[in-house]
A = this chain, B = another copy of it.
Amino acid sequence: MLFLVRMDVQIPHDLPADKAEEIKAREKAYSQDLQRQGKWQALYRVVGEYANYSVFDVETNDELHTMLSSLPLFPYMKIQVTPLARHPSSIR
Interface of A with B (CB < 8 Å)?
1-5, 12-15, 27-28, 31-32, 35-36, 42-50, 52-53, 55, 60-62, 64-66, 68-69, 75-76, 79-92
> Knowing A4-B44, A5-B48, A13-B75 touch, does A64 contact B83 (C-beta < 8 A)?
yes
Q: Is the CB of A91 within 8 A of B32?
A: yes
Q: Is the CB of A79 within 8 A of B49?
A: yes
Chain B neighbourhood of A53, CB < 8 A: 4, 82, 84
> Knowing A4-B53, A52-B87 touch, does A15 contact B15 (C-beta < 8 A)?
no
> Knowing A35-B90, A91-B35 touch, does A1 contact B48 (C-beta < 8 A)?
no
